Chain A
Amino acid sequence: MTEKIKLFDTSKCTGCRSCQLACKQWNQLAAKQTRNTGTYQNPPDLQPNTYLVMRFQEMDDPKAGVKWFFRHHACMHCTDAACVKVCPSGALYYTDMKTVGLNRAICIACKECVTACPFDIPRYDDKTDKVYKCDMCESRIGNNMEPACAKACPTGALTWGDKDKLMKAAYKRAKDLGGDAKVYGDKFVDGTHLVYVLQEKTALYSALPTNPSVPLSIVLWKDVLKPLALLAAGGVLAGSFLHYIIHGPKTPDEDGANKMEGGE
């Protein structure tokens, strides 16, 4: 299957939240009562039952007056995904389309993915003792449909398609927009499968890391210590064997004085 990505263009988004609602609908996620905290941001963050949230930000701009920032916030579907690296059960996995799926039935609720993800995406629910996140509508994209969110988007801010084609479009769009506009996603974790065209500087968007990477600790843990555990134990076993056949065990001396005193 050809590699596909989901492209989100902040400049075309009107903040209508169709994508957020479509996600709830397709994944049959109930809504939760929330409190108004004086912003349009609702719900306030990702939750076990909210895989996708539209981030709303108001920015004061001396020239343009108030500016609105809208960002489609969900799993980035990393090519080198920290969550897949740490998941002990295989519940998190790469799909044929290179997106990151989640087989909740075998999740053991160790929550390692929650601490590992550089984008702070997976959410743990203590009622079900499982972890939740966007799976890019695996049941849809596996059947040649686009993700529910992209299907619902009325403005073309969200598109789903072949990686090559959409990346080209993304770079062209960033160039056309000019100013601070840039492409976000292809330069780290070996490329994400949710890619943004950001109209403003990355640092201005809330909850968006400017330079995310698979944490060093996870690379050390999984790529160095894990093989080392087997290597060290294997080395000890081999060493013991060599010791036994070359140097020999440390056997009690069998002189006459000891014979009387029992023993084996």
Chain B
Amino acid sequence: MKKGLIQATDWYERLVHWMLALSCLFLCLTGLAMMFHSLNSIANLMGGLTVTKYLHNFTGLLFALALLLAIKMWWQEAGVFSMPEDLEWMMVAGGYLWHVDKVPEVGKYNPGQKMFFLAVAIFGLVMVITGLIMWFPLIFPAMLVRWLFVLHALGFVVIFAFFFVHLYLGTIGSPGSAPAMFSGWVTRAWLKKQHPKWLKEMEEEGTLVVSGEENKAH
């Protein structure tokens, strides 16, 4: 490994992230196959629409598990806003949309990421609850189930759209981010640009893990 890289995530964080991401992606794909007749053919790759339906349902259980783990892990860091810097950051949209001379410094997660996390947490829970009931629709009142299908579809609209936002910002939209979710090691330059306050915090607390250097924290 290159010297001077900084560890941004540990293996557990990355494992939960990929469990959530891959199950979500697969749910989107199998969901699309059921939603559009023109996409029924996606299901043929998986052995037909009936198989796809059950794959969707059981992957839903995996997604539910990953979601709970993710919420437990990230709630403290990404579920609560810290004022006033988060508000200031939002006023300038983090410098993502127009030119900003000095973007307010934020911690490990910026408010955009926090909103993304909250949206995933809330709509993810909506998907799990509605999905579980839709799996056994006949033991619930038809009126209820009819509206749950609406909620499930609404959640899909949000999650599917957000998926692409996330994909863009995690890759070409902010170069240097992707390694955080693959190897876990990022460059100091990236950290300084994306999460300056977090970098300072880690430096002050001595929790910074730098490759090729003695681990000061442990």
User: Which residues of chain A have C-beta atoms less than 8 A from B150's C-beta?
Assistant: 217, 220-221, 225
Q: Are B96 and A247 in contact (CB under 8 A)?
A: yes
Partner of A233, one of B40, B164, B176, B190: B164
Chain A residues whose C-beta falls within 8 Å of the C-beta of B160 in the assembled complex: 229, 232-233
CB–CB B189/A261 < 8 A: yes
CA distance A124 to B145 in the complex (A): 16
User: Given A110-B53, A233-B164, does the pair A250, B173 have CB atoms closer than 8 Å?
Assistant: yes
Closest to B191 in A: A252
What is the number of contacts between chain A and chain B, taking CB atoms within 8 Å? 149
- Which chain B residues border A176 with CB–CB below 8 Å? none
The answer, yes or no, to whether A258 is at the interface (CB within 8 Å) is yes
In the complex, chain B residues 32-67 whose Cβ is within 8 Å of any chain A Cβ? 34-37, 40, 49-50, 52-53
Interface residues on B, range: 35 or more
In the complex, the answer to whether A88 meets B4 with C-beta atoms within 8 Å is no
CA distance A114 to B173 in the complex (A): 45
Chain B contacts with A in 120-142, Cβ cutoff 8 A: 137-138, 142
Nearest to B171 among chain A residues (CB) is A249
B 162-217 contacts with A by CB, 8 A: 162-165, 168, 172-176, 179, 187-190, 192-194, 211
- Find out whether the CB atom of B149 lies under 8 angstroms from the CB atom of A108: no
The reply to whether A253 and B193 form a contact with Cβ atoms under 8 Å apart is yes
A233 near B34 with CB under 8 A, answer: no
**Cα distance A111–B140 when bound, in Å?**
12
Q: How far is the CA of A235 from the CA of B158 in the complex (A)?
A: 12
Interface residues as binary, A17-50 with B (CB distance below 8 Å gives 1, 0 otherwise): 0000000000000000000000000000000000
Q: Quick check: B53 and A263 within 8 Å, CB to CB? A: no
A188 within 8 A of B: no
- Is there an interface contact between A250 and B193, defined as CB atoms closer than 8 Å? yes
Residues of B within 8 A of A110 (CB): 34, 53
CB-based nearest A residue for B3: A262
By the criterion CB–CB under 8 Å, are A115 and B142 in contact? yes
Chosen A-B contacts, 20 in total, with CB atoms closer than 8 Å, are: A89-B34, A110-B53, A226-B35, A226-B36, A229-B153, A229-B156, A229-B157, A229-B161, A233-B160, A233-B164, A236-B165, A237-B164, A240-B173, A243-B168, A250-B173, A253-B189, A258-B188, A261-B187, A261-B188, A264-B175
